[in-house]
Amino acid sequence: MSYPTFFNPEESYSRSEIEALQLDRLQATVKHCMHSPFYRERFRQAGLTPADIRTLDDLRKIPFTTKQDLRDTYPFGIASVPLDKCVRLHSSSGTTGNPTVILHSQKDLDEWANAVARCLWMVGCRPEDVFQNTSGYGMFTGGLGFQYGAEKVGMLTVPAAAGNTLRQLKFFTDFGTTVVHAIPSYAARLYEVMCEKGIDPRRDTRLRTLVIGAEPHSEDTRKRIEEMLGVKAYNSFGMSEMCGPGVAFECPEQNGMHIWEDYYIVEIVNPDTLEPVPDGEVGELVLTTLKREAMPLLRYRTRDLTRILPGECPCGRHHIRLDRMKGRSDDMIILKGVNIFPIQIETILMQFQELASDYLITLETVDGNDAMTVDVEMKDLSLDDYGKLQSLTREITRQLRDEILITPKVRLVPKNSLPKSEGKAVRVVDTRKKY
Ligand code: ADP
Ligand code: ZN
């Protein structure tokens, strides 16, 4: 059967078409936001009215919206429609204070499903595919977000939900799953259990495509997962404040994630000065929603650090590409005054073929000083091979020191000895005394 290349016409818009659409939608969004008590007050304080937004550059006159604003207005204070227009809410875990609530109208849910479907279609998902979703359902948007998107593509969709790995594997073989959505740490776990059970993914399953996202991971991690499972793995980026998955997604080129600019205006700013960074430099991603009805967000500071990849993508889409996420500004470890992102450590570790995929960074206070230990699981090295272990530990330590400029204590630990989580992997434990 022959299918169109693009899921929506907007997907193949030229730059000038994208920008014209963005201006229309920005003006409409700003007007609509005046139904929100929060934005009405923000605009009043800034001495702004919707009529002041005449060009896309005028966006910069609008104050930023932060996660703190969502908390301060918990639960419904930012909404731009009355509650009876809303049909769903999602909420973050709220481990650090009030949780945040995101409201959706029926129209928002339809658009969200469309955006996710567009992503899946882009990497070759078609109605003949069987899509298995290993995300938690419920408040975590990776569950329902992919469910509706995959159904919109027309795939047979298996809402397997998180955990119960043996059941996941049974579904793969019984239902002929071809596409899986999993967080990267869980994709590696699926493979480990396949090995334990003597399942060869290439021989015993029809797996072809993997969608991996929700947590930072390195290019080497992707390559490993692709090799293990015999699939192509595509990076998927989203967050609940922007609906969830479907914000940015890799195309078949696997070189950066196209962010759908008919839905979002992208800015990259210096997180300290809040000024735009020069083209192509890393900074904080700031997003303005362009088609949200229940709860549009203007200039939302995501705290995610990334950059815009320069140049055109050979796939023919003109929506800009975001580089792999470096992490969130609040994931940054400050150790002995040095700024370190966990992904820098992962990038080094995953280059060692002897190491498995799981690692844990522990930060402690030892004799009044900051110290870092990196525990990393080995693939199949025996603990008896002392000489080999020592030289490997030394080499890993040396490469980590070159990358992060401090010397961590590296411990090679047996496979499956580090704690596993059902949701996003916990990579950093900080037990340092806070003064
Ligand atoms: P929570 O805030 O509770 O983690 P979300 O599901 O909204 O819940 O998480 C969104 C965040 O997850 C993003 O802001 C980003 O930090 C991270 N994230 C999502 N997708 C990716 C990805 N592909 N690569 C790196 N980080 C990602
Ligand atoms: Zn592309």
pLDDT tens per residue, range 332-381: 898 888 889 999 999 999 999 999 999 999 999 998 889 999 999 998 77
Q: Contact, 79 vs 86, CB < 8 A?
A: yes
- For the beta carbon of residue 38, count every other beta carbon within 10 angstroms: 18
Pairing of strands 264-269, 257-259: unpaired
Q: Which residue has the higher pLDDT, 42 or 367?
A: 42
CA of 309, nearest ligand number: 2
Mean pLDDT of 101-123: 98
Give the residue-averaged pLDDT of 83-105.
Answer: 87
Residue 95's pLDDT is what? 58
Of the pLDDT bands very low, low, confident and very high (cuts 50, 70, 90), residue 217 is very high
CA–CA separation, 184 vs 191, rounded Å?
11
Whether residue 46 has pLDDT greater than 70: yes
C-beta of residue 244 within 8 angstroms of C-beta of residue 238: yes
Q: Does the beta carbon of 100 lie inside 6 Å of ligand 1?
A: no
> Which atom belonging to ligand 1 lies closest to the Cα atom of 248?
23
Q: Which residue, chain included where needed, has tokens 């009215």?
A: 49
Ligand nearest, relative to CA of residue 102: 1
Find the ligand nearest to 145 CA: 1
Tokens representing 69 are: 């604003």
- Confidence class for position 330, pLDDT limits 50, 70, 90: confident
Q: Where would I find the beta strands (DSSP E) of 76-225?
A: 86-91, 101-105, 130-133, 156-158, 179-182, 209-213
d(C-alpha 149, C-alpha 139), whole Å:
17
Mean pLDDT of 408-424: 89
Looking at residue 401, its pLDDT comes to: 95
Q: Give the other-Cβ count within 10 Å of 307's Cβ.
A: 19
| % pLDDT > 90, the chain | 86
Residue 379 Cα to ligand 1 midpoint, Å, equals 28
Per-residue model confidence (pLDDT) at position 94: 60
How many helices (H) and strands (E) the chain has is answered by 11, 21
First and final CA of the chain: distance in angstroms? 65
Residue 266 CA, ligand 2 centroid: distance in Å: 17
- Average pLDDT of every residue of the chain: 94
- Token pair for residue 310? 């320069």
Nearest to 354 by CA among 318, 384, 382, 322: 382
Q: What is the DSSP letter of 290?
A: S
Closest CA to 131 of 69, 23, 207, 34: 207
pLDDT at 385 over 90: no
Can you tell me the distance from the alpha carbon of 236 to that of 426, in angstroms, rounded to the nearest whole number? 19
Reported as a single tens digit per residue, the pLDDT across 184-215 is 989 999 999 999 999 999 999 999 999 999 98
How far apart (Å, rounded) are the C-alpha atoms in residues 403 and 143? 36
Most confident among 56-60, 189-193, 326-330 (mean pLDDT): 56-60
Q: Is the pLDDT of residue 75 over 60?
A: yes
pTM metric for this prediction? 0.91
* Predicted pLDDT at 156: 98
Q: How far apart are CA 330 and CA 341, in angstroms?
A: 10
Q: Which of 326, 155, 95, 315 is nearest to 147 (CA)?
A: 155
239 lines ligand 1 (CB under 6 A): yes
Tokens standing for residue 267: 């800015």
376 close to ligand 1 (CB < 6 Angstrom): no
> Which H helix or E strand runs over 70?
helix 67-72
Mean pLDDT computed over 297-310:
97
Which atom of ligand 1 lies at the shortest distance from residue 325's CA?
25
| pLDDT score recorded for residue 126 | 98
CA-CA distance, 287 to 69, in Å (whole number)? 15
pLDDT at 96: 59
Q: What average pLDDT does range 130-137 have in this prediction?
A: 96
Written as one letter, the residue type at 44 is R
pLDDT higher than 60, residue 301: yes
Residue 93 has pLDDT above 80, yes or no: no
Give the Cα separation of 66 and 269 in Å (integer): 14
Atom 20 of ligand 1, nearest CA residue: 214
Checking if the pLDDT of 241 tops 90, the result is yes
Q: Identify the pLDDT of residue 425.
A: 87
Residue 425 contacts residue 215 (beta carbons within 8 Å): yes
C-alpha closest to that of 292 among 130, 133, 430, 88: 88
In short, whether 328's Cβ falls inside 6 Å of ligand 1 is yes
Average pLDDT over residues 382-395: 87
Local confidence band at 420 (pLDDT 50, 70, 90 cut-offs): confident
Is any atom of ligand 1 closer than 6 Å to the C-beta of 325? yes
Write out the H or E segment, with its range, that includes residue 376: strand 369-378
Contacts of 326 (CB under 8 A, 6+ apart): 216, 282, 305, 306, 341, 343
